[in-house]
Amino acid sequence: MSAAGTAPVPTPAGSSHAGNRRFVLARRVDGLPRTDDFRLETAPRPLPGEGQVLVRNRFISVDPGTRGRLGDRETYAQPLALGEVIQAATVGTVETSANPRFKPGDWVAGAFGWQEWGLSDGRGLRVVPSNGLPPSTAIGVLGIPGLTAYFGLLDVGALKAGETLLVTSAAGAVGSAAGQIGRIEGARVVGVAGGPAKCDWLTRDLGFAAAIDYRAQSDLGAALAAACPEGIDVLFDNVGNAMIDAVLPLMKRGGRIVVCGQMADYNRPAHEAVGLKNTRAFIGQRLTMRGLVAFDYVRQYPTAWERMTQWITEGRLAYREDIIDGFESLPQAFIGLFTGENFGRRVVRLA
Ligand X SMILES: NC(=O)c1ccc[n+]([C@@H]2O[C@H](COP(=O)([O-])OP(=O)(O)OC[C@H]3O[C@@H](n4cnc5c(N)ncnc54)[C@H](OP(=O)(O)O)[C@@H]3O)[C@@H](O)[C@H]2O)c1
Which residues contact ligand X by CB under 6 A? 63-65, 144-145, 148, 169, 171-175, 193-195, 198, 238-239, 260-264, 292-294, 337-338, 340, 342
Shortest approach of ligand X to residue 137 CB, angstroms? 14
Comparison of 26 and 294: residue with beta carbon closer to ligand X:
294
Shortest approach of ligand X to residue 30 CB, angstroms? 17
Comparison of 22 and 198: residue with beta carbon closer to ligand X:
198
Shortest approach of ligand X to residue 341 CB, angstroms? 7
Comparison of 40 and 248: residue with beta carbon closer to ligand X:
248
* C-beta atoms surrounding 276 within 10 Å: 13
Chain-centre distance of CA 79, in angstroms?
Answer: 18
Q: Within the chain, how many helices (H) and strands (E) appear?
A: 8, 16
Comparison of 91 and 144: residue with beta carbon closer to ligand X:
144
Q: Would you say the C-alpha torsion 190, 192, 196, 202 has a positive or negative sign? A: negative
Cα R_g (the chain), whole angstroms: 21
Comparison of 228 and 347: residue with beta carbon closer to ligand X:
347
Q: Are strands 9-10 and 20-25 parallel, antiparallel or unpaired?
A: unpaired
Alpha helices in 248-340 (DSSP H): 280-284, 301-313, 330-335
User: Are 236 and 159 in contact, with CB atoms under 8 Å apart?
Assistant: no
Comparison of 60 and 144: residue with beta carbon closer to ligand X:
144
Q: Which residues contact 249 (CB under 8 A, 6 or more apart)?
A: 221, 278, 281
- Cα–Cα distance for residue pair 237/239, rounded to 1 Å: 6
Comparison of 20 and 241: residue with beta carbon closer to ligand X:
241
Q: Would you say the C-alpha torsion 250, 161, 293, 110 has a positive or negative sign? A: negative
- Cα–Cα distance for residue pair 40/153, rounded to 1 Å: 38
Comparison of 43 and 257: residue with beta carbon closer to ligand X:
257
Shortest approach of ligand X to residue 309 CB, angstroms? 19
Shortest approach of ligand X to residue 210 CB, angstroms? 15
Shortest approach of ligand X to residue 247 CB, angstroms? 13
Shortest approach of ligand X to residue 346 CB, angstroms? 6
Angle at 72 between CA 68 and CA 74, to 5 degrees: 60
Which residue, among 210, 170, 175, has the nearest Cα to 193 in the 3D structure? 170
Shortest approach of ligand X to residue 11 CB, angstroms? 28
Q: Are strands 126-127 and 107-110 parallel, antiparallel or unpaired?
A: antiparallel
